Structure 1
């Protein structure tokens, strides 16, 4: 489908993950991608979000109705240009009748099909090697599992030994194939990427979606990437690991790449920082107050409660826009309190980023900073610079003199970037140290550092006394 006419004849309506309805002007549309412009001084859309109830209209006719995953956000001041991968069937065919219009539509289908054949030999070879390895490995493991173990649920210890016996060999070969795939994916021109991604998913997904981590990242059941259960899988805290040995092996492998290790490092650093700040405030004989924004499963809070007695002298506020996430966190933090005997004052706040950004424009006179530490980990991976700057300005207003702000971002050198984009429909906004530091509020002094993998970058800002 060719470029649509701009203006009132070409509109896009949608609902974001927070349930907020938005509307934009269509700029371009094809069978797999829609690009549209949205006016909003706040933040309606984030990267890798699944937009619901998308309606693309030409005049009075709806040509697409379904869902789409946000793959790009470009801010141009008050306007935001959004690219979305369309993931449901088209509505246009419902309105066609036999005749010239039907012939034209079928001609466009043939054109799209032919463009799908223009995939580089190197990429095809990498995908075919990858899918062939997965297919043969799946068959071999299934046969061996049946012959040696039988029911893995009935013999868990034997199943674990079986998995350990073959996992190293599988990992070594898979690493080679992933390197080959990502090297070829990095060469793909951006304008052709959707064709390549569709080919890779068609060939590889049948053998990978049985791994719970892969399934959850691709389908995003809560409507966005990085939901609490996805993070639990990254941290190896989830009880969901797969129903077969093959599924469990590939769940473990895909959730143990460098980006996942960096996420585990992130939680360790945040837990340590919570302890350091609690000790600083305890020396002042005060209650330590901390706010975590977009808290997710808040594993660092759970660990802080379980391991640090100073958590009993703490007031911990956990904010997230998703109700299911907050209910989960309430349950897990309650377990941590009961098992450790440490009893912080816990408060759970349901608030969207859009709501937070509106707070920036509230009258600040007479407002008393109330937090010793404010942090958000992972949030900036999904929002453009203007949103992140506004959030940091808000946090800086909320933190006490002497208090600490901490935020993180994934570095552009993420070695799994193309695996995430081509196979998992998982897109991030990457920033290096300088780019993350540039988001700090004017007049503040920020410091940046990376974790041991170099994949996660941290920005800390100490507010002067």
Structure 2
């Protein structure tokens, strides 16, 4: 497949490849087959080319190609590219990956592209992440009476809507911490009352010691670390771990190297994550005193896209 990847005129050939896909979609051909070819091809190019070649392809070929406007009829893809909140991966975008939209006020082509993307492994991992966090909340409430929980970069806190413990009031306090006031407004509407407490703040405020939440039973951040440098991730992990009570648990997550969606996200949505392997995720805990660690657990989700690390405080 795509034997021209290593040729000297690879960028020119890549433009021709996009021409073929554009023609196939424009004439109402086999949309699923065309999107499969696009998705698989972008995965291959992203893995095969060095960063400079890949970036040139995204900026010089994809951004100027008429195929981009066709793909951007998909509301999820367009939202990711436009970044109306001013940053990538906002909570509205993530909501597109949860309950599949049936009426999105867009063209039929846009809906069809969206439904194709919704079924890819990356969105499946995002939905699985929500369920895993809801299960963690429920299990915590079984172990600890009225536990205190902190969600960092909470977004719309959709996992809480899937938690029996939250619905039944068996969580003592759930602090929903996020930089985006619009996301926190959604959280407040979804969870009136005192159980869920929205708090506005940034990672920087935690790093500077301006935001701290002591005596936590569970702290988690499942969609943030993909954007952090190694040094910031390690420092943040140490500070979050320090907020735990003895026996408390910190859960962090990061999308893994070779996640197949990466090529499409970067080329058509201008959405870049920092993909890591297990050793790199384990390094998040490098600033924690080993004597404070009772246990370190690492695992991947069912489709092998997301690496989870759970640290238990002694």
TMscore range, shorter length: 0.7 to 0.9
- 1:187 pairs with 2:48: yes
Deviation at 1:129, TM superposition (A): 2.2
- 1:126 pairs with 2:21: no
TM score, norm. by length of structure 2: 0.88
Structure number with greater Rg is 1
Give the distance between the partners of 1:368 and 1:228, measured in 2 at CA.
Answer: 23
Q: What is the CA deviation profile of residues 249-283 of structure 1, one whole-angstrom value per residue up to 9, with x for unaligned ones?
A: 1112123311111111111111101111111003x
Give the distance between the partners of 1:216 and 1:407, measured in 2 at CA.
Answer: 26
Q: Looking at secondary structure, tell me which structure has more helix per residue.
A: 2
- 1:314 pairs with 2:172: yes
Deviation at 1:122, TM superposition (A): 4.0
- 1:371 pairs with 2:216: yes
Is this contact kept in 2: 1:127–1:181, CA < 8 A? no
SS, match of residue 235 in structure 1: coil
Give the distance between the partners of 1:123 and 1:275, measured in 2 at CA.
Answer: 49
Is this contact kept in 2: 1:213–1:233, CA < 8 A? yes
- Number of aligned pairs? 300
- 1:227 pairs with 2:90: yes
TM score, norm. by length of structure 1: 0.60
Give the distance between the partners of 2:155 and 2:100, measured in 1 at CA.
Answer: 13
Q: Which residue of 2 aligns with 1:144?
A: none
Give the distance between the partners of 1:210 and 1:170, measured in 2 at CA.
Answer: 14
Give the distance between the partners of 2:303 and 2:143, measured in 1 at CA.
Answer: 28
Q: Which residue of 1 aligns with 2:4?
A: none
Q: Which residue of 2 aligns with 1:412?
A: 257
Give the distance between the partners of 2:49 and 2:25, measured in 1 at CA.
Answer: 23
CA shift in 2, pair 1:368/1:228, >3 Å: closer
Give the distance between the partners of 1:390 and 1:235, measured in 2 at CA.
Answer: 31
Give the distance between the partners of 2:260 and 2:68, measured in 1 at CA.
Answer: 20
Q: What is the CA deviation profile of residues 422-450 of structure 1, one whole-angstrom value per residue up to 9, with x for unaligned ones?
A: 22111111111221112112312321100
Q: Looking at secondary structure, tell me which structure has more strand per residue.
A: 1
Q: Which residue of 1 aligns with 2:111?
A: 248
Give the distance between the partners of 1:306 and 1:399, measured in 2 at CA.
Answer: 20
Q: Which residue of 2 aligns with 1:454?
A: 304
Equivalent positions of 1:148-187 (< 5 A) are 170-187=31-48
Deviation at 1:178, TM superposition (A): 2.0
Is this contact kept in 1: 2:241–2:250, CA < 8 A? yes
SS, match of residue 406 in structure 1: strand
Q: What is the CA deviation profile of residues 116-144 of structure 1, one whole-angstrom value per residue up to 9, with x for unaligned ones?
A: x965354233322222222222xx7xxxx
Q: Which residue of 2 aligns with 1:201?
A: 63
Structure showing greater relative contact order (alpha-carbon pairs closer than 8 Å, 6 or more residues apart): 2
Give the counterpart of 1:387 among 228, 232, 236.
232
Is this contact kept in 2: 1:126–1:181, CA < 8 A? no
Equivalent positions of 1:255-404 (< 5 A) are 255-282=118-145, 287-304=146-163, 308-309=167-168, 311-334=169-192, 345-359=195-209, 369-404=214-249
Is this contact kept in 2: 1:290–1:316, CA < 8 A? yes
Give the distance between the partners of 2:21 and 2:238, measured in 1 at CA.
Answer: 46
Equivalent positions of 1:31-46 (< 5 A) are none
CA shift in 2, pair 1:390/1:237, >3 Å: farther
Is this contact kept in 1: 2:161–2:167, CA < 8 A? no
Is this contact kept in 1: 2:130–2:158, CA < 8 A? yes
Deviation at 1:177, TM superposition (A): 3.4
Give the distance between the partners of 1:327 and 1:232, measured in 2 at CA.
Answer: 15
Is this contact kept in 2: 1:322–1:350, CA < 8 A? yes
- 1:442 pairs with 2:289: yes
CA shift in 2, pair 1:250/1:118, >3 Å: same
Give the distance between the partners of 2:245 and 2:42, measured in 1 at CA.
Answer: 48
Give the distance between the partners of 2:47 and 2:16, measured in 1 at CA.
Answer: 15
SS, match of residue 295 in structure 1: coil
